[in-house]
Amino acid sequence: AQTVTQSQPEMSVQEAETVTLSCTYDTSENNYYLFWYKQPPSRQMILVIRQEAYKQQNATENRFSVNFQKAAKSFSLKISDSQLGDTAMYFCAFMTYTGGFKTIFGAGTRLFVKA
Amino acid sequence: DTAVSQTPKYLVTQMGNDKSIKCEQNLGHDTMYWYKQDSKKFLKIMFSYNNKELIINETVPNRFSPKSPDKAHLNLHINSLELGDSAVYFCASSQDRLGEQYFGPGTRLTVT
């Protein structure tokens, strides 16, 4: 079975500092997509960053970057220069071509950015 | 303009009732989804439609029936509501089955 594990239920970081959220997944597939979604208190789910498994280069999006380790099946999210608006639940997600392109979400990590 | 909209945003109803949640996307996407987020924030796919055709149907009670009248709409009808159906339901859409998903604001359903 394909699973996504986020081992940190909650994390906190001081404003302007850097924080890394961890995510591991389990699959026998070779081609797949990985995502990080953000859900602020407003409840709106927003895509933060996306990584194709066939790409070796780590995806970056402004202050957000990932460390994708395919062999280790690890996909961590680094947030640099944390801002108060980064306070949210962060979900790691995984999608394969098989299984009907179903997206599987991790349990989420609640991040608090402190002033 | 809202890309993915859901109505209503809040729904409080009694056990045994039948209710519907509507979803519309104005992005021209081919694929739409329904997710359920429980009280522990766990998000799980329920259904997915691609060009009005059902492509994902997770193990969901058959009291839940999605309906896609056209590519831009995917409604969720729930019969004989139960306490355990209380959750936030999210609609989402993507350009195609591989695309990033755009989520609606969610509908908080409370069954009393």
pLDDT in tens, A80-102: 999 999 999 999 998 887 666 78
In A, which residues are within 8 Å of B58 by CB distance?
A: 102
Query: For residue A4, what is the enclosing H or E element?
Result: strand A3-5
CA neighbor of B38 nearest in space, from B1, B7, B78, B84: B84
For residue A88, what is the nearest residue in chain B, using CA coordinates? B41
pLDDT (0 to 100) of residue B1: 63
Cα–Cα distance, B67 to B85 (Å, whole number): 18
| Cβ distance of B48 and A101 shorter than 8 Å | yes
Q: Read off the pLDDT of residues B58-82 as tens digits, 9 standing for 90 and up.
A: 878 899 999 999 999 999 999 999 9
Give contacts of A97 with chain B, Cβ < 8 Å. 98
- Per-residue model confidence as pLDDT tens digits over A22-72: 999 998 888 889 999 999 988 888 999 999 998 889 999 999 999 999 999
Give percent of chain A with pLDDT exceeding 90: 75
Contact of A95 with chain B, judged by CB distance below 8 Å, is answered with yes
Q: Which of A45, A104, A111 to mutate to test the interface with B (most CBs of B within 10 A)?
A: A45
- Among B33, B100, B102, beta carbon nearest to A35: B100
Rounded to whole angstroms, what are the CA distances from A32 to A38, A76, A115, B68? 20, 16, 37, 27
What is the reported pLDDT for A100? 66
Q: Which residues of B touch A54 (CB under 8 A)?
A: none
